[in-house]
């Protein structure tokens, strides 16, 4: 997770979607992943929005 956030910060991206492929992964684990990602972003002080991707979600670039 820390590496992913660092790469996003270095690349100056503005949106970072967290996702997983494990069907046993709970919504609570997703929430923890997003909170941890946002905490890491806050340390860097950059405008990067972290969120949990969802099935069927469409993101316009």
The string of pLDDT tens digits covering residues 3-50 is 999 999 999 999 999 988 787 878 888 899 999 999 999 999 999 999
Its pTM surpasses 0.85: no
CA angle 14-17-23, nearest 5°?
175
In three-state form (DSSP H/G/I as H, E/B as E, the rest C), the secondary structure along the chain is CHHHHHHHHHHCCCEEEECCCCCCCCHHHHHHHHHHHHHHHHHHCCCCEEEECCCCCCCCC
pLDDT of residue 21: 79
pLDDT above 80: residue 1? no
């Amino acid at each position: 997770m820390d590496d992913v956030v660092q790469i996003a910060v270095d690349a100056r991206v503005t949106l970072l979607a967290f996702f997983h492929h494990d069907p046993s992964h709970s919504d609570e684990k997703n929430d923890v992943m997003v909170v941890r990602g946002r905490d890491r972003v806050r340390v860097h002080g950059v405008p990067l929005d972290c969120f949990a991707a969802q099935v069927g979600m469409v993101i316009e670039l």
